[in-house]
Structure 1
Amino acid sequence: MERLPTATLALLLCLDLGAQALPEPQIPSPRAIHTKDTVTLAIIGDVMMHSRQLEYDCREFLSGISGLLKEADFAIANAEFSLGGRPYSGYPAFSAPDSYAEYLRDGCGIDVFLTANNHILDRGRKGLERTLHVYDSLGVPYCGSSPGDGTYYRHNPLMLFKDGIRIALLNFTYGTNIPAPASAGPLVGMLDKDEVSECIRRARIQGADFIIALPHWGREYSLTHDDSQRDWAEWLAAQGVDAIVGSHPHVVQDSCHIGGVPVIYSTGNAVSNMSARNTRLGLAVTLTLVVDRASGDKACTPRLHFTWCTLPGMLGHGYRTIYVREWVGRRGDWLTPSDYDNMLETLERVCTATSIANPLSDTSSD
């Protein structure tokens, strides 16, 4: 079935391939208003809700970076939790309050939740179905998971429409911590080449100008990609995707271009209670997508913005994620100035390990 939560946004979720043949979707007529059409995406990493976070007002969590998210045409977050209902819990089986999703929508401007991750089944099938029901009730599209057996959703990407540009989002995970019951059918999109290639094929059928792959992959806490990530990135680039932005390792990983396709292997954490080495530095990625209708040329330009998740008592009372660049030189504003030093030391360490330009010495990133 097709769901249209807004006048300019159409939701088509993709999951596992099924044996049942489905009719090809109809391609809507393009709305090319200008010779050059431009759309911006803002993508943040792992949005988590650990047990200690439940004790604090979530409205502060991402307030320090919400401006960029609201300015983008579409803001996308990896929702690494379930909304499985009470009792609320953190790691290892996440179940956040429904108000968390509402805050992310209204307070931060999140337009799309990515749900293909290893924690989406932390409360089982019922928890997943309840999570997606809450997103439906809030009118927020999601990508990567499906209610029921996903007969239709698993064949299709999430399609976004704006100013004549069609964007297809593909979201898949290496696996889930809680396996889906065999009788439940395909609930979560898995990194399977047959499955992903079918989604890419149907994205093209639906006239996608851009195909953005959002895989949940890699080794946790590693600052560099592994062989599996590289193999997948090369394969995705060969299939014609326009950008690859990954999640899961909980730290920022290296970035590169493969065949002209930008690859950001991991955005790290957006907000969490994690304090292990390098886990509080993250990336907000903006993708500027341009289509020249006269020439047929298109461009996808990434920009990286480093973020830092401050824990309670360090910058304020609770959790607050900030842009590193905006706080450089403001050590005196910290309640715990040593955390300012930690931020800069972590930035230098991660930039050295990943070869991403340090924004304090290069204006190509923020």
Structure 2
Amino acid sequence: MSNYPLSYKLSWLPRFLKPSLGGDRNGFAAPAATLMVPAPTQTVRLAFIGDLSAVANRAAPECDPGIAALLASVDLVVGNCESPIVERPSAVAGTRLGTRHAMSERFLADALAAVGIARDKLVLSLANNHVLDQGVAGFDETLAALKRLGVRTIGTTVGGAVQRHTAGPLTIGFAAFTLWRNADQAEFRARVSMAGDPAEWPLGILEAVDLLCAVPHWDWEFRHFPKPATRALARRLAGHGVRLIAGHHAHVVQPVEGIGDALVAYGLGDFLGTAFARQTWPGRIGSILVVEVRTDAAARGKIAAYKLHFFMRLAKGGHERLVPVEALEEGRLKRKVSERLGAIFSA
């Protein structure tokens, strides 16, 4: 049913237990943050978060006030809805084991309130491999729940390969797609965008938006450095006018790369845990990408500045606690996390 190669499947558990720093580290020249001096005064502020799931959370997370304030301060938050939203899972055994994802509408509403994300400022991608984990009925239930919550969506075939949403005075085109699926190909493609080839996108889309942004579910899981094919696709997207790429699926943080005037954040890690309640510490590092986009006539839609804000998802009973890395208690964990981030972002 899935489209994962055998080598990928065999490596999943070893890499989950010990996320890898292997792979090509060359060419990642972009730092974790860059600021314009002097900073432009006319900007729209976007925040991109990683995969969002209830697999590791029986209750809404606790969130550091600084993270909640950051997410409340932006004009638009964009993330990946990794779990179907259903009241009663149809895949009961798999859901209990954690191999099939599901979360309730109440959980999502409580989680968004806990982390400071306003529903009317949220856009969630449904282009991921788990979105049909509860079947076609679960997919339909997910769409209905998000509509009730007032949350906008991207990554469905109904909306087309590029879907437009406003953020302040800007119109942003979102090309959300997944390269991976866990369901039957025909059933999946009929509902979820797998349009990773920009040649499939509408003609003239660049003239219809101020900024073209890709939100891909790509690469291999639990690897801090993206595969060559992933980087090649990033270059292809940039060559077709994409100026901002915020990736998911690796479940660990990955580097940032500048390709011409395009910014590529290959992997933001998980925002809420997606793979079992117990997880080794490298997989608990997440990031929030905040991007300032210019709205002035001289450079409308251009990226003025960006910063990755790193945090840890600390297990606490039946839920997680989101804590900025700099606020971790001094000790072995904080040293290990700092060393890991240094290895990724100084390559």
After TM superposition, give the deviation of residue 302 of structure 1 in Å: 1.9
Equivalent residue letter for 1:76: V
What TM-score, normalized by structure 2, do the two folds share? 0.77
The alignment status of 1:93 with 2:100, answered yes or no, reads yes
Show the counterpart of 1:348: 339
Show the counterpart of 2:239: 238
Give the 3 Å change call, closer, same or farther, for CA 262–184 of structure 1 in structure 2. closer
Among 81, 84, 89, the alignment partner of 1:82 is 84
After TM superposition, give the deviation of residue 244 of structure 1 in Å: 0.8
Q: Residue by residue, what CA displacement relative to the aligned partner does 1:325-354 show, whole Å, maximum 9, x if unpaired?
A: 2x15x44xxxxxxxx522431231232134
Among 171, 189, 201, the alignment partner of 1:166 is 171
Alignment of 1:246-325 (within 5 A): 246-272=247-273, 273-294=277-298, 298-312=302-316, 318-325=319-326
Give the 3 Å change call, closer, same or farther, for CA 185–277 of structure 1 in structure 2. closer
Show the counterpart of 1:60: 62
Show the counterpart of 1:30: none
The alignment status of 1:45 with 2:50, answered yes or no, reads yes
Query: How many angstroms apart in 2 are the aligned matches of 1:235 and 1:307?
Result: 31
Query: How many angstroms apart in 1 are the aligned matches of 2:298 and 2:52?
Result: 40
Give the 3 Å change call, closer, same or farther, for CA 210–231 of structure 1 in structure 2. same
Show the counterpart of 1:219: 220
| Conserved 8 A contact 2:178-2:196 | no
Show the counterpart of 2:75: 73
Q: Residue by residue, what CA displacement relative to the aligned partner does 1:103-125 show, whole Å, maximum 9, x if unpaired?
A: 24444315111111111110111
Q: Residue by residue, what CA displacement relative to the aligned partner does 1:286-316 show, whole Å, maximum 9, x if unpaired?
A: 0110032146683342211111101116xxx
Give the 3 Å change call, closer, same or farther, for CA 284–86 of structure 1 in structure 2. same
Query: How many angstroms apart in 2 are the aligned matches of 1:218 and 1:129?
Result: 27
Show the counterpart of 2:7: none
Q: Residue by residue, what CA displacement relative to the aligned partner does 1:225-261 show, whole Å, maximum 9, x if unpaired?
A: 1011111100000001111111111111121101121
Larger Rg: 1
Equivalent residue letter for 2:333: N
The alignment status of 1:175 with 2:158, answered yes or no, reads no
Show the counterpart of 2:153: 142
After TM superposition, give the deviation of residue 60 of structure 1 in Å: 2.1
Q: Residue by residue, what CA displacement relative to the aligned partner does 1:177-200 show, whole Å, maximum 9, x if unpaired?
A: 1225x367621111431xx44436
Q: Residue by residue, what CA displacement relative to the aligned partner does 1:78-121 show, whole Å, maximum 9, x if unpaired?
A: 11111133147362111111112222444431511111111111
Show the counterpart of 2:16: none
Query: How many angstroms apart in 1 are the aligned matches of 2:344 and 2:298?
Result: 42
| Conserved 8 A contact 2:286-2:311 | yes
Equivalent residue letter for 2:86: G
Show the counterpart of 1:361: none
| Conserved 8 A contact 1:312-1:318 | yes
Q: List 4+ stretches of structure 1 deviating above 4 A.
A: 61-64, 294-297
After TM superposition, give the deviation of residue 36 of structure 1 in Å: 6.7
Alignment of 1:7-46 (within 5 A): 37-46=42-51
Secondary structure of 1:348's partner? helix
Query: How many angstroms apart in 2 are the aligned matches of 1:257 and 1:204?
Result: 20
Equivalent residue letter for 1:144: G
Show the counterpart of 2:10: none
Give the 3 Å change call, closer, same or farther, for CA 321–104 of structure 1 in structure 2. same
| Conserved 8 A contact 1:270-1:307 | no
Q: Residue by residue, what CA displacement relative to the aligned partner does 1:33-86 show, whole Å, maximum 9, x if unpaired?
A: xx9741111111111211x522xx315267662211111000122111111331
Query: How many angstroms apart in 2 are the aligned matches of 1:243 and 1:183?
Result: 30
Among 199, 202, 212, the alignment partner of 2:201 is 199
Query: How many angstroms apart in 2 are the aligned matches of 1:184 and 1:266?
Result: 23
Structure 2 spans left out of the alignment, 5+ residues: 1-39
Give the 3 Å change call, closer, same or farther, for CA 319–288 of structure 1 in structure 2. same
Equivalent residue letter for 1:351: G
Query: How many angstroms apart in 2 are the aligned matches of 1:286 and 1:274?
Result: 28
| Conserved 8 A contact 1:292-1:298 | no
The alignment status of 1:154 with 2:160, answered yes or no, reads yes
Query: How many angstroms apart in 1 are the aligned matches of 2:187 and 2:167?
Result: 38
Give the 3 Å change call, closer, same or farther, for CA 121–278 of structure 1 in structure 2. same
Structure 1 spans left out of the alignment, 5+ residues: 1-34, 332-339, 357-366
Show the counterpart of 2:34: none
Show the counterpart of 2:134: 123
| Conserved 8 A contact 1:262-1:302 | no
RMSD: 2.5
Show the counterpart of 1:16: none
Query: How many angstroms apart in 2 are the aligned matches of 1:58 and 1:202?
Result: 42
Show the counterpart of 1:32: none
